[in-house]
Amino acid sequence: MGLLDGKKALVMGLLNEHSVAWGISNALHAEGADLGFTYFGETVERRVRPLAERLNAKLIEPCDVQSDEQIDTLMERVRETYGSLDIIVHSVAFANRDEISGKPYLETSRAGFQLALDVSAYSLTAVVKAAQNLLNPGASIITMTYYGSQQVAPNYNVMGVAKAALEASVRYLAHDLGPRNIRINAISAGPLRTAAAMGIAGFRTMYKNFADVAPLRRNITIEDVGKTALWLCSDLASGVTGEIIYVDGGFRNVAVALGD
């Protein structure tokens, strides 16, 4: 008996075994969910296929979230394979590296802003819009965000603006989907050493500082995120929608860090 027996889940944004989407996928799989995955590009496909197969995925499909056509094709394949959906995990973001590593936010280009907002914020709305007729009553959607949406995280720059738009989208989508008993929430995770964090200027220092300051005095793991995702996707969170749930060891509540 699993918490998610018979539930069909679509996971977007898995890259490797360090991915937050991998932590979430494992937690959902362990409770009986039937998982399908999307990837972007052939390089990623080669990494994702073996991982998806480890979790007995029935569906492994390409999806460039900047293309409405590809999103529609994906949902057609989901309909053929599963008939309907109970869970969507959106773990997708992108900004040009040079816009989030070392230069001031005020140098952000129009093209860089549009790219970051399109891939990292609008994609959630685009996916939910295309999936709306597949979603069963009781369905749960989750997306990933970061505290740089609320407070300035140096270098996070245009990604912070994109995450603010993503979080607002969660509230509006929750309002639209609530009458059909479909819930949508975001998980705001502390810094994780995933591919998305590699090569980010100052990340190592930030990661170390986080564990010194956070009430739990440690970093967050993809397993921590997976367990919260499992709760949000299960009936245990039946009354929770439109929320930003922090999986950050309490970090964001600390105004002044004195250390031990």
Which residues carry out catalysis?
Answer: 146, 156
* Closer residue to ligand 0WE in complex, CB, 30/201: 201
Find the binding residues for ligand 0WE in span 88-147 (CB under 6 A). 93-95, 97, 100, 146
Q: Per the structure block, which two tokens stand in for 14?
A: 């898995």
- Minimum distance from residue 34 beta carbon to ligand 0WE (Å): 28
3-state secondary structure (DSSP) of residue 71:
helix
* Closer residue to ligand 0WE in complex, CB, 24/139: 24
Strand arrangement, sheet containing 34-39: 59-62, 34-39, 8-12, 85-90, 135-145, 183-189, 244-247
The 10 Å Cβ neighbour count of residue 255 is 5
- Minimum distance from residue 155 beta carbon to ligand 0WE (Å): 4
* Closer residue to ligand 0WE in complex, CB, 86/248: 248
Find the binding residues for ligand 0WE in span 153-172 (CB under 6 A). 153, 155-156, 159
- Minimum distance from residue 180 beta carbon to ligand 0WE (Å): 30
Classify burial at 111, counting beta carbons within 10 Å of its beta carbon; exposed 0-12, middle 13-18, buried 19 or more. exposed
Distances (CA, A) of 206 to 168, 180, 197, 223: 26, 41, 11, 20
CA distance 103 to 106: 8
Q: Which amino acid is present at 53?
A: E
CA distance 146 to 210: 13
* Closer residue to ligand 0WE in complex, CB, 15/182: 15
15 close to 44: Cβ distance less than 8 angstroms: yes
- Minimum distance from residue 8 beta carbon to ligand 0WE (Å): 27
Find the binding residues for ligand 0WE in span 198-227 (CB under 6 A). 200
DSSP secondary structure, 150-199, as one string: TS--TTTHHHHHHHHHHHHHHHHHHHHHGGGT-EEEEEEEPP--SGGGTT
* Closer residue to ligand 0WE in complex, CB, 141/166: 166
Tell me the site size for ligand 0WE, rule CB under 6 A.
14
Give the x/- contact pattern for ligand 0WE in 43-82, rule: CB under 6 A: ----------------------------------------
- Minimum distance from residue 149 beta carbon to ligand 0WE (Å): 10
Binding site for ligand 0WE (CB under 6 A): 93-95, 97, 100, 146, 153, 155-156, 159, 191, 196-197, 200
